[in-house]
């Protein structure tokens, strides 16, 4: 039973506005007891104090260079073992040509590139991949690989994570996305069929990146088998690392899509969470992470444009990016299509906010009045 009385919400709000760090009981209380309207008002108030009415976005392309993966999480509908007819791995030149095609048409600022943990790929594949991309499209910022991919390269090559990251950075890697965080707790990750201690491994890789000056994003996947304390501990773990190195550029809470996954087939998750839970996680993320991780993404990709707009009213201040060629979410059966920046600008303006285009490092490059 959570020991905090509802009457203490005013005290929690005052402390959050001052930027103070909440404890896990208080965060669980926000998840389990506080009404969504109160959370939204507080979340938006904190965001207004950070970035005002500005909402950033990036011209982004997602490129999944392989779908072969030996981790085989039971919440993933994208991976293949390598034996299927639709298993694939793209060559460096094919990746670069595809990126150039989209860049020539849409002016891509950020390339999010990740796939699976493909045991056939060496460090040389990735360094050649990044160099080839940068040679063909030098202006693009590469936001690449998951911590799982990086950890596997380290083990395969018998190199330290730091040495792998240095080699990747020298070949063109600029930032690292937050994929693979899910929920850090081992009991949750066991059900999700993630490797033992992989939550701590995610944190360790990110800490190494931050220590040597590589900025990253952070995420949390909710709406599966976790509880409120799992989410509270997850957010506090991110906050602890952020206070040490200030290496996280942003945070995205995203809801689990169960379609075509083993979790759905096994009956462990029968449906996706509703819009209220999406907004609850947006607002609480802002309240907990506060100014320490100043950018909260609206996660429109899994929830649609309209929910993306509402998320902005609950504390998010970054739309994320345009989407071209994304394949992971469609593997669940949910079609997301492509989203061009004109639609993003219109969607942000229509709710009375100011769209600002950014680059891969969240630096503003253009304001749309």
pLDDT of residue 2: 47
In this prediction, what percent of the chain has a pLDDT beyond 70? 92
pLDDT of residue 334: 42
Render the burial of 140-175: b for 16+ CB within 10 Å, e for the rest. Answer: bbbbbbbbbbbbbbbeeeeeebeebbebbbebbbbb
Annotated binding site for [4Fe-4S] cluster: 69, 73, 76
pLDDT of residue 170: 98
Both tokens of 61, joined, read: 């392309």
Whether the per-residue pLDDT at 244 is higher than 80: the answer is yes
| Phi, psi for 94 (deg, rounded to 5) | -65, -40
pLDDT of residue 226: 96
* Most confident of the following: 5-9, 199-203, 298-302, 340-344: 199-203
Q: Which domains occur in the chain, in start order?
A: 23-367 (3.20.20.70)
Whether the per-residue pLDDT at 331 is higher than 70: the answer is no
In eight-state DSSP terms, residue 329 is G
CA distance 277 to 258: 15
Closest residue by Cα to residue 151 from 89, 202, 193: 202
pLDDT of residue 336: 47
User: Which residues lie across from 141 on neighbouring strands?
Assistant: 110
pLDDT of residue 333: 42
pLDDT of residue 255: 92
Q: At what angle do helices 228-245 and 275-289 cross, to 10 degrees?
A: 40
Which residue's entry shows tokens 């994570």? 161
CA distance 280 to 315: 10
Closest residue by Cα to residue 263 from 298, 223, 207: 223
Both tokens of 355, joined, read: 């769209």
Q: How far is CA 40 from CA 103, 253, 274, 280, 295, in A?
A: 37, 15, 16, 8, 16
Report the pLDDT averaged over residues 304-323: 93
Q: Where are the alpha helices (DSSP H) in the chain?
A: 9-17, 24-32, 36-51, 92-106, 123-136, 147-157, 161-171, 186-191, 198-211, 228-245, 262-265, 275-289, 300-313, 341-349
pLDDT of residue 345: 95
CA distance 294 to 317: 9
Closest residue by Cα to residue 187 from 237, 238, 230: 230
Which residue's entry shows tokens 């990110």? 206
Task: Provide the pLDDT confidence category of residue 327 given band limits of 50, 70 and 90.
Answer: very low
Annotated binding site for S-adenosyl-L-methionine: 75, 182, 193
Question: pLDDT for 270-295, tens place per residue?
Answer: 888 999 999 999 999 999 999 999 99
Residue 297: which residues within 8 A CB-CB, separation 6 or more? 250, 251, 252, 316, 318, 319, 320
Whether the per-residue pLDDT at 83 is higher than 80: the answer is no
pLDDT of residue 227: 97
Annotated binding site: 69, 73, 75-76, 146, 182, 193, 299
Considering the entire predicted model, what is its pTM? Answer: 0.91
pLDDT of residue 165: 98
pLDDT of residue 258: 81
Q: Identify whether the C-beta of residue 184 lies closer than 8 Å to the C-beta of residue 200.
A: yes
CA distance 232 to 239: 11
Choose between 335 and 52: higher pLDDT. 52
Annotated binding site for (3R)-3-methyl-D-ornithine: 146, 299
């Amino acid at each position: 039973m959570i020991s905090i009385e509802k009457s203490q919400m005013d005290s929690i709000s005052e402390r959050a506005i001052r930027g103070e760090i909440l404890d896990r009981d208080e965060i669980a209380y926000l998840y389990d007891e506080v009404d969504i309207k109160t959370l939204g008002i507080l979340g938006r108030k904190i965001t207004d104090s950070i970035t005002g009415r500005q909402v950033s976005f990036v011209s982004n392309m997602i490129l999944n260079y392989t779908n072969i993966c030996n981790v085989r999480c039971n919440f993933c509908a994208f991976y293949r073992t390598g034996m299927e007819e639709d298993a694939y791995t793209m060559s460096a030149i094919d990746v670069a040509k595809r990126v150039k095609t989209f860049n020539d048409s849409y002016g891509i600022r950020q390339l999010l590139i990740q796939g699976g943990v493909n045991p056939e790929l060496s460090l040389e594949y990735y360094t050649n991949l990044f160099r080839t991309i940068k040679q063909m499209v030098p202006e693009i910022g590469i936001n690449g690989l998951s911590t799982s991919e990086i950890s596997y390269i380290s083990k395969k090559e018998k190199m330290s994570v730091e040495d792998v990251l240095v080699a990747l950075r020298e070949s063109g890697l600029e930032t690292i996305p937050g994929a693979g965080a899910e929920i850090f707790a081992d009991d949750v990750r066991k059900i999700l069929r993630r490797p033992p201690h992989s939550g701590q491994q995610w944190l360790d890789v990110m800490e190494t990146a931050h220590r040597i000056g590589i900025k990253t994003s952070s995420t949390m996947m909710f709406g599966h088998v976790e509880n409120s304390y799992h989410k509270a501990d997850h957010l506090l773990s991110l906050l602890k690392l952020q206070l040490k190195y200030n290496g996280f550029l942003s945070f995205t809470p995203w809801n689990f899509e169960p379609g075509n996954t083993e979790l759905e087939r096994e009956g462990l998750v029968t449906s996706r969470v509703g819009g209220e839970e999406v907004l609850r996680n947006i607002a609480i993320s802002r309240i907990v992470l506060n100014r320490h991780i100043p950018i909260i993404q609206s996660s429109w990709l899994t929830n649609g444009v309209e929910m993306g707009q509402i998320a902005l009213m609950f504390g998010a201040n970054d739309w994320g990016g345009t989407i071209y060629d994304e394949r992971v979410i469609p593997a669940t059966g949910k079609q997301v299509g492509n989203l061009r920046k004109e639609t993003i600008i219109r969607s942000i303006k229509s709710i009375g906010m100011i769209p600002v285009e950014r680059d891969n490092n969240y630096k503003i490059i253009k304001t749309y009045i």
